[in-house]
């Protein structure tokens, strides 16, 4: 176990959207009955089989950094942000505002004062790789069990994941079957973690990896965020 390499994934979204519930389900394969309000940050670890079922299969640790969503802690939580290798954006399907607020979460996590200067963020551009920092993301909508048909239709018309070109999952975090092995949600999540690991550990050889073409959305549905340094 000592030699297992790890990646760090941030879990971001408004307070109460279900980040702790989601993180627990991913890490333990079972729902949490009574999640407490996250103060600061809590970290869960998942063992992930990278490129499962292929000759190059390898085990990695995925650290899931569940960041407390309360706006009271906005000014201090940036200590948890860097460095990280991917982001799970979480919103509540019964609360449209929580989806819109993900833009602010994106801006918050990408703005870093000091050090190398203030970072700015571009629109998501899944076609751009070279010469930039690459960041895999995925958007997860929670409380599917409580969302009305009307709300889900509205979301389809105004879907932030689509706007960003990101992959997305809608799910009930209280249902242990939501991420059942082989389900489309589990496959999407597994591919997202694969992507995080590839960008983190295989970046130099990325263009030489088999099937490592952004246009191949079946293999790499998670988009990449292009970052650059601004003034």
Residues binding ligand GTP (CB under 6 A): 13, 15-21, 35, 37-38, 68-70, 142-143, 145-146, 172-174
- The DSSP letter of residue 160 is H
Shortest spacing between CB 104 and ligand GTP, in angstroms: 14
Shortest spacing between CB 17 and ligand GTP, in angstroms: 4
Query: Could you tell me which of 84, 89, 59, 77 has the C-alpha nearest to residue 8?
Result: 84
Shortest spacing between CB 84 and ligand GTP, in angstroms: 17
Evaluate whether 129 touches 158 at the Cβ level (below 8 Å): no
Beta carbon nearer to ligand GTP, 7 or 25: 25
Beta carbon nearer to ligand GTP, 126 or 178: 178
Beta carbon nearer to ligand GTP, 54 or 146: 146
Please calculate the CA angle 161-138-211 and round it to the nearest 5 degrees. Answer: 105
Beta carbon nearer to ligand GTP, 173 or 196: 173
Helix (H) or strand (E) holding 149: helix 149-157
Shortest spacing between CB 90 and ligand GTP, in angstroms: 6
Q: In this chain, which residue has its C-beta nearest to ligand GTP?
A: 18
Evaluate whether 59 touches 48 at the Cβ level (below 8 Å): yes
* Phi, psi angle pair for 195, to nearest 5°: -65, -40
């Amino acid at each position: 176990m000592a030699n297992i390499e790890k990646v760090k994934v941030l879990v971001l979204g408004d307070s109460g959207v279900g980040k702790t519930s989601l993180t627990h389900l991913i890490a333990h394969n079972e729902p949490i009955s009574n999640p407490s309000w996250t103060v600061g940050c809590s970290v869960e670890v998942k063992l992930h089989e990278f490129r499962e079922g292929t000759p190059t299969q390898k085990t990695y640790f995925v650290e899931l950094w569940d960041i407390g969503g309360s706006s009271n802690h906005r000014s201090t939580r940036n200590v948890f942000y860097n460095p990280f290798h991917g982001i799970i954006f979480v919103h509540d399907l019964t609360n449209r505002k929580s989806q819109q607020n993900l833009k602010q979460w994106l801006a918050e996590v990408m703005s870093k004062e000091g050090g190398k200067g203030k970072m700015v963020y571009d629109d998501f551009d899944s076609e751009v790789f070279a010469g930039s920092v690459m960041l895999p993301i995925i958007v997860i909508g929670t409380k599917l069990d409580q969302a009305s048909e009307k709300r889900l239709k509205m979301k389809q018309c105004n879907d932030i994941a689509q706007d960003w070109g990101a992959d997305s999952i809608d799910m009930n975090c209280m249902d242990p079957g939501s991420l059942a092995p082989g389900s489309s949600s589990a496959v999407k999540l597994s591919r997202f973690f694969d992507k995080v690991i590839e960008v983190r550990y295989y970046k130099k050889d990325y263009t030489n990896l088999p099937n490592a073409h952004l246009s191949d959305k079946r293999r790499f549905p998670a988009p990449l965020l292009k970052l650059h340094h601004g003034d």
